[in-house]
Each structure stands twice: as structure tokens, then as C-alpha cells.
Amino acid sequence: MLYEYYENDDVTFRGSFKIVDTAQTPDAGSALVRVLEKGRGRGYTPYLAETAASIAATQIYYKLSNLRAGVFRLFFTATFNTGADQRTGIIDFIVRKKVAA
């Protein structure tokens, strides 16, 4: 699924992980986020270097402010069971320029 936002929006991205239909709670301080921007070619380039994301119960989240127009891919990574298990989730999104009607 491709999510759509508008330039200069502030967006809070949220993720959660389920293993065999059971919601998992990441270890405290173990959630990370990284955002890549799709370039003119086929690949992605770093937009936001890997940084800490917040954890609240079974949710991890990160707020991005003042988005610029482009196509992006956000990676959430969380560690469980004191580092024994690590999961990654991906959120694809596009940011469009605001156009007056």
C-alpha cells in the first residue's frame, strides 16, 4: 500500500509487529527508523539516517516534520527478547506538492 501526504505536512508513522497473530512488544529503546528517498534512477538514497524511534506498548512510532515532495520508503526495525529476535517493517509513501484548486 502506498500512503499519500502533502508537502510540509507533519506525519507520525506507526508500526507494530505480530508473530503468529500475537502482538509483540519491542525491547525498550530498541526501535529504529530509517527513511530513503527514491531518486531519478531505480534506487533509493538516504533521506533520514538511522535514528531512534519511540515505543509505546506494542507500537513503535516516529514523527517526520516538514516533508518535501518525493517518493519515500520508511523502515522500522525493532528488537525483541533482548536482541534474540529482530523484525523490520516497511512503509512506502509519496509526498505531493500542494496545488491550489
Query: Percentage of the chain surpassing pLDDT 70?
Result: 99
Closest CA to 7 of 68, 50, 64: 68
Residue 20 lies in a domain: yes
Instruction: Write down the pTM of the prediction.
Output: 0.85
Length of the chain: 101
Q: What is the pLDDT of residue 23?
A: 83
In a domain, 72, yes or no: yes
Each residue's pLDDT tens digit, 79-89: 888 778 888 99
Please return the burial class of 95, using the count of CB atoms within 10 Å of its CB with bins 0-12, 13-18 and 19+: buried
Q: First-to-last CA distance in the chain?
A: 26
Is residue 85 in a domain?
yes
Please write the tens of the pLDDT for every residue from 29-54.
899 999 999 987 778 899 999 999 99
The number of domains in the chain is 1
Instruction: Classify residue 99: in a domain, yes or no.
Output: no
The alpha carbon dihedral of 90, 73, 79, 64 has a sign of negative
Domain membership flag for residue 46: yes
Mean per-residue pLDDT for 5-22? Answer: 89
Q: Please say whether the beta carbons of 94 and 72 come within 8 A.
A: yes
Q: Residue 101: inside a domain, yes or no?
A: no
Residue 45 lies in a domain: yes
**Distance between CA 81 and CA 70 in Å, rounded?**
36
Does residue 75 fall inside a structural domain? yes
> In the prediction, which pLDDT does 101 show?
65
Q: Which domain holds residue 61?
A: 2-32+40-94
- Contacts of residue 65, Cβ cutoff 8 Å, sequence gap at least 6: 10
